[in-house]
Chain A
C-alpha cells in the first residue's frame, strides 16, 4: 500500500523566515507532486518531481530517491504563503495520487 507522510502537521512562522516542509513516502512511489491549497479551498500544483531539485520563484522542491524523502522550501516567507501544502505520491497499483495529510502553514507579519 502506498503511503505518504508529512511533517510538521502545523507550522507558524514569522514573515521572512525560511520554511521547510518534509514528506516521506513508501516503496513503490516513483514521483511526487507538491500542491498548495488556499484557504478558499482551491488547489494549485506547485511541482512534480521524480529526481533532483526544482525551483520556482521563492519555492524549492527536492527529492532524495534513496531515502524516499522530499522537502518543500520557501525562502523569504510572506503572509500570502499561508496555505495548506500537500505532498502526493505517484506509483504503485493506483493510477491516482496518494495524498499526505497536509501541512497547515501560517506566516505572521
Chain B
C-alpha cells in the first residue's frame, strides 16, 4: 500500500459525459501528479500540482482540467468524453518534485467510455 488513494476504482460512462477522478496523496506529500495509461500511448504525464498550485502541464487535453485543494487532495475533471479517453488514470504523490523524490502511485482509476 503506497498510501495514495484514488476513487473510484472503476468508472463506466458514455461519450459526451463528464467525470471527476479523485486522488488523496500520502500524508505530508505536497506534490500530486496525474498520468494517463492507454493501450496505444502507454503512460503519459498530464499535470503536476504542488501545494495547491499548478506547476506543469504535459499532454493534457483542453477538455481535461485539474485542481488541488487546501487539504492537498486533487481532482481530475474529464469532460466531453470520447471513446479514446478510455484508459487507466494514475495519480502519484511525492514530498517535492520528481528530480529529487520518489513518486508513490495510487492504484489507478479505470475509465471506460462507451
Using CB atoms and an 8 Å cutoff, list the residues of chain A in contact with chain B: 30-31, 33, 35, 41-45, 48, 86, 88, 90-91, 94-99, 101-102
Chosen A-B contacts, 26 in total, with CB atoms closer than 8 Å, are: A31-B98, A31-B99, A33-B102, A43-B90, A43-B105, A44-B105, A45-B105, A90-B98, A91-B99, A94-B58, A95-B48, A95-B55, A95-B56, A95-B58, A95-B98, A96-B33, A96-B35, A96-B48, A96-B58, A96-B98, A97-B33, A97-B35, A97-B43, A99-B42, A99-B44, A102-B42
Interface residues on B, range: 20 to 34
Of chain A, the residue at the smallest CB distance from B90 is: A43
Does B45 lie within 8 Å of A97, measured CB to CB? yes
- The interface bits of chain B over 23-62 (1 if a CB of A lies within 8 angstroms of the residue's CB, else 0) are 0000000000101000000111111100000011010000
Using CB atoms and an 8 Å cutoff, list the residues of chain B in contact with chain A: 2, 33, 35, 42-48, 55-56, 58, 88, 90, 92, 97-99, 101-105, 107-108, 110
Contacts of A44 in B (CB 8 A): 2, 105
Does B42 lie within 8 Å of A42, measured CB to CB? no
CB-CB under 8 A for A94 and B42, given A42-B105, A42-B108, A48-B102: no
Does A98 lie within 8 Å of B45, measured CB to CB? yes
* Majority-rule SS of A interface residues: strand
CB-CB under 8 A for A41 and B56, given A95-B98, A99-B43, A101-B42: no
Contacts of B103 in A (CB 8 A): 33, 45, 48, 97
